């Protein structure tokens, strides 16, 4: 059997186009600032962020992510080692994000190293609170899903819990004004679960996403306590206001608010800066662009069934 190089020679594949393509691409790198960073600053590393999230999950749910066996006697030292590593690595990635931001905006007075250290420290200090909130999310999943057999099963296998865990970490960084990093964290969770939650979205306590695939929650969505949503639900924007120059206006509320004790069933699309009143139920495949009062049940009317007889 002929090897590849011999076959390529016999085929006489033309290669005269390659130098031209290389020159064209190289020229485009000089003119397209923003989509290449060949000679620019180091951007945050997706691989390193994934490792940080893995460590944080181990801190929040010890014993679930690592093969090491820990007990209450050595947990103090085991978790201490992980917390120290998270602080160092997170501070490094935040520094890269802030350096990028300052370079783009031509800042010269920012102490990015101090800001990075302070932000990383503040997130570390929040971990006990985040852990307690996520414990309640796990309880909500257990109580809201008859198929759930144990808390362990939920933590190990429910995509909604995994995504919400990442989100509650990313939201802290988003709230601190850190660029790039929060969206990268959300992207990693989306890649693993198919659940897309913008890090700016505000999630209440006891939040449960059942099944989850195809769920989209926008940046300015505000979700109350004891809310449950199913797969394929979209909490999105209805329109994008523009300024006098035709540019999209950013930073305004454009996504729904779900008050306490709301349930949204699969395939529902809820759009715009509207409010779903507390204790309401949105049925499957509903298209909703207007606010509804508390204690409302909204469904699509069932079509009349016609039974054919022989």
- Same-domain status, 87 and 150: yes
DSSP string, 232-273: T-EEE-S---B-TTSPBP-SS--S-EE-TT-EE-TT-EEESS
Calpha distance 171→92 (Å, rounded): 18
Domain end point (choices 143, 160, 194): 194
- Same-domain status, 163 and 80: yes
Could you tell me if residue 34 is inside a domain?
no
Q: What pLDDT is stored for residue 78 in this prediction?
A: 86
- Same-domain status, 165 and 102: yes
Taking residue 95's Cβ as centre, other Cβ atoms within 10 Å add up to 19
Could you tell me if residue 242 is inside a domain?
yes
Q: Quote the percentage of the chain above a pLDDT of 90.
A: 69
The residues, ordered by sequence, that sit 6+ positions from 117 with a Cβ below 8 Å of its Cβ are 91
In angstroms, the Cα distances linking 65 to 57, 59, 152, 202 are 7, 9, 12, 26
Average pLDDT over residues 115-137: 97
Taking residue 146's Cβ as centre, other Cβ atoms within 10 Å add up to 7
Count of residues making up the chain: 310
Could you tell me if residue 155 is inside a domain?
yes
Could you tell me if residue 175 is inside a domain?
yes
- Same-domain status, 222 and 141: no
User: Is the separation of the CB atoms in 167 and 186 below 8 Å?
Assistant: yes
- Same-domain status, 153 and 55: yes
SS (H, E, C) 40-109: CCCCCCHHHHHHHHHHHHHHHCCCCCCCCCCCCCCHHHHHHHHHHHHHHHHHHHHHHHHHHHHHHHCCCC
Question: For the ranges 109-118, 190-199, 264-273, which has the lowest average pLDDT?
Answer: 109-118
Band of residue 1 on the pLDDT scale cut at 50, 70, 90:
very low
Angle at which helix 112-144 crosses helix 75-105, to 10 degrees, equals 120
Judged against a pLDDT cut of 90, whether residue 74 lies above it is answered with no
Q: What pLDDT is stored for residue 31 in this prediction?
A: 67
Q: CATH no. for residue 91?
A: 1.10.3130.10
Could you tell me if residue 23 is inside a domain?
no
Q: How many domains does the chain have?
A: 2
- Same-domain status, 162 and 230: no
Average pLDDT over residues 132-138: 98
Give Dmax (Cα) for the chain.
Answer: 83
In angstroms, the Cα distances linking 9 to 14, 16, 79 are 10, 15, 59
Average pLDDT over residues 6-27: 74
Which phi and psi (to 5°) does residue 275 adopt?
-120, 130
Q: What pLDDT is stored for residue 64 in this prediction?
A: 85
Q: CATH no. for residue 218?
A: 2.160.10.10
Judged against a pLDDT cut of 60, whether residue 131 lies above it is answered with yes
- Same-domain status, 55 and 106: yes
Q: Quote the percentage of the chain above a pLDDT of 70.
A: 89
Nearest to 172 by CA among 224, 133, 228: 133
Could you tell me if residue 93 is inside a domain?
yes
- Same-domain status, 73 and 185: yes
Calpha distance 227→59 (Å, rounded): 26
DSSP bridge partners of 276 = 258, 292
Domain that holds residue 255: 214-310
Calpha distance 174→178 (Å, rounded): 6
User: Is the separation of the CB atoms in 60 and 67 below 8 Å?
Assistant: no
Domain end point (choices 194, 222, 252): 194
Q: What pLDDT is stored for residue 13 in this prediction?
A: 61
- Same-domain status, 169 and 245: no
- Same-domain status, 174 and 263: no
Could you tell me if residue 91 is inside a domain?
yes
Average pLDDT over residues 197-226: 98
Q: What pLDDT is stored for residue 248 in this prediction?
A: 83
Judged against a pLDDT cut of 50, whether residue 300 lies above it is answered with yes
Q: Mean pLDDT score of the chain, rounded to an integer?
A: 90
- Same-domain status, 51 and 186: yes
- Same-domain status, 136 and 235: no
Average pLDDT over residues 190-200: 98
């Amino acid at each position: 059997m002929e090897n590849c190089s011999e076959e390529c020679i016999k085929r006489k594949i033309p290669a005269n186009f390659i130098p031209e393509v290389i020159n064209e691409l190289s020229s485009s790198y000089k003119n397209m600032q923003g989509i290449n960073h060949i000679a620019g600053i180091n951007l945050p590393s997706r691989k390193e962020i994934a490792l940080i999230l893995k460590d944080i999950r181990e801190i929040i749910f010890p014993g679930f992510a690592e093969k090491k066996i820990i007990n209450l006697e050595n947990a103090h030292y085991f978790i201490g080692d992980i917390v120290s590593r998270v602080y160092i690595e997170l501070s490094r990635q935040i520094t890269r994000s802030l350096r990028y931001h300052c370079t783009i905006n031509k800042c010269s007075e920012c102490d990015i190293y101090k800001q990075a250290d302070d932000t990383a420290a503040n997130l570390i200090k929040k971990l006990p609170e985040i852990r307690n909130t996520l414990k309640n999310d796990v309880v909500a999943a257990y109580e809201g899903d008859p198929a759930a057999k144990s808390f362990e099963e939920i933590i190990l296998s429910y995509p909604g819990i995994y995504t919400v865990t990442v989100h509650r970490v990313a939201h802290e960084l988003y709230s601190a004004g850190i660029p790039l990093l929060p969206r990268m964290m959300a992207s990693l969770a989306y890649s693993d679960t198919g659940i897309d939650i913008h890090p700016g979205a505000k999630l209440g306590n006891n939040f449960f996403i059942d099944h989850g695939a195809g769920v989209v929650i926008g940046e300015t969505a505000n979700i109350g306590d004891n809310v449950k949503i199913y797969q394929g639900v979209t909490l999105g924007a209805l329109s994008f206001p523009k300024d006098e120059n035709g540019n999209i206006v950013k930073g305004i509320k454009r996504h729904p608010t779900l008050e306490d004790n709301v349930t949204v069933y699969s395939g529902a699309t809820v759009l715009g800066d509207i409010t779903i009143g507390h204790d309401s139920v949105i049925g499957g495949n509903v298209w909703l662009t207007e606010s509804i009062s508390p204690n409302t049940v909204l469904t699509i009317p069932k079509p009349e069934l016609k039974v054919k007889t022989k």
